[in-house]
C-alpha cells in the first residue's frame, strides 16, 4: 500500500501531539516537598506500652532482601528503620519502616513477597485483611503472608502508603500513582512491615495486631498520617 505525503504529515502531527501531551501531563511536583521530610528515627518510638527495644535484633532491610539487589534500591528508600521489640514476656516482634520520597513507574516500594522470594524464601498464604488500631477509626488495610526458608518460619503483616492512600496491591499502587499524576504530583511512599519468628501462625498474627495497635497509639497525632495516610 502506497503511503501519501498527506498521510505522512498527519502521522507526524499525531506523534508530535502525543509527545507534547505526554510532556504536559508529566508529573513534576513532589509531594515530599510540600512538607518537611519525616525523620523516621524520631517518629518511630523506641519504647511504647509494654514494648522495649532489643538492640541486638535487626530485621532484614529491603535493600538486603534480594540476593541480587536492585541497582535502584538505594534511591527507592531515603530512610529506613529496622528494629526488634520485646513485650517483656519473651515475645519479639521485628519492625521495618522504609520511606521513599518518589513513587513513580521507575522507583517504587518493594513488596515483601517479591523480596523474600528473591532471597530464597517460599512465600505462601498471602491474604488481605484489616487491623483495627483505634476505637472509632477505620481499620488499616493490610496484607499477610508466610515466608519460610529451611527452619525459619516468619509470618508477616505489612501495608504500603502511596501519597495519602493505603495501596497494597499492584493495581492499587498504579491507580494511586495515576491519580496523583493527573494532578501533576509525584507521591511519596512508605512500607511498614512487622514479623515474628518462633511462634505459630495465629499466635504470630495476634501478637502483630497488638504491636501495631500499641505502636500507632504511641505515635503523635501529627505524625500518624505518615503511617496510615489520610482520606
Q: What is the tens place of the pLDDT at every residue in 178-210?
A: 898 888 888 988 999 999 999 999 999 999 999
The pLDDT of 25-30, averaged and rounded, is 56
Question: What's the pLDDT tens digit per position in 134-160?
Answer: 888 899 999 999 999 999 999 999 999
Element (H, E) at 123: strand 122-131
* Opening angle at CA 89, ends 199 and 209, nearest 5: 55
Predicted local confidence at residue 100, as pLDDT: 85
Tell me: pLDDT of 174 over 60: yes
Q: How far apart are CA 172 and CA 128, in angstroms?
A: 13
Predicted local confidence at residue 69, as pLDDT: 42
* Opening angle at CA 65, ends 155 and 217, nearest 5: 50
Q: How far apart are CA 79 and CA 28, in angstroms?
A: 22
Task: List the helix and strand counts (H, then E) for the chain.
Answer: 7, 11
Q: How far apart are CA 137 and CA 224, in angstroms?
A: 12
Q: How far apart are CA 66 and CA 125, in angstroms?
A: 20
For residues 129 and 115, the model is more confident at 129
Predicted local confidence at residue 74, as pLDDT: 44
Amino acid at each position: 500500500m502506497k503511503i501519501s505525503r498527506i498521510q505522512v504529515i498527519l502521522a507526524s502531527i499525531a506523534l508530535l501531539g502525543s509527545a507534547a501531551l505526554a510532556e504536559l501531563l508529566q508529573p513534576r511536583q513532589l509531594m515530599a516537598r510540600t512538607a518537611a521530610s519525616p525523620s523516621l528515627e524520631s517518629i518511630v518510638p523506641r519504647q511504647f506500652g509494654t514494648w522495649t527495644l532489643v538492640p541486638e535484633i535487626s530485621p532484614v532491610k529491603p535493600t538486603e532482601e534480594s540476593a541480587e539487589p536492585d541497582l535502584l534500591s538505594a534511591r527507592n528508600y531515603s530512610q529506613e528503620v529496622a528494629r526488634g521489640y520485646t513485650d517483656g514476656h519473651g515475645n519479639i516482634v521485628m519492625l521495618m519502616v522504609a520511606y521513599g520520597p518518589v513513587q513513580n513507574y521507575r522507583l517504587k516500594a518493594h513488596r515483601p513477597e517479591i523480596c523474600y522470594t528473591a532471597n530464597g524464601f517460599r512465600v505462601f498464604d498471602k491474604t488481605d485483611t484489616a487491623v483495627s488500631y483505634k476505637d472509632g477509626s477505620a481499620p488499616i488495610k493490610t496484607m499477610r503472608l508466610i515466608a519460610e526458608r529451611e527452619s525459619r518460619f516468619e509470618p508477616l503483616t505489612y501495608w504500603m502508603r502511596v501519597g495519602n492512600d493505603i495501596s497494597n496491591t499492584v493495581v492499587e499502587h498504579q491507580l494511586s500513582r495515576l491519580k496523583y499524576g493527573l494532578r501533576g504530583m509525584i507521591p511519596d511512599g512508605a512500607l511498614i512491615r512487622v514479623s515474628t519468628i518462633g511462634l505459630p501462625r495465629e499466635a504470630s498474627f495476634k501478637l502483630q495486631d497488638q504491636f501495631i495497635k500499641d505502636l500507632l497509639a504511641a505515635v503523635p497525632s501529627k505524625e500518624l498520617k505518615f503511617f496510615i495516610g489520610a482520606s
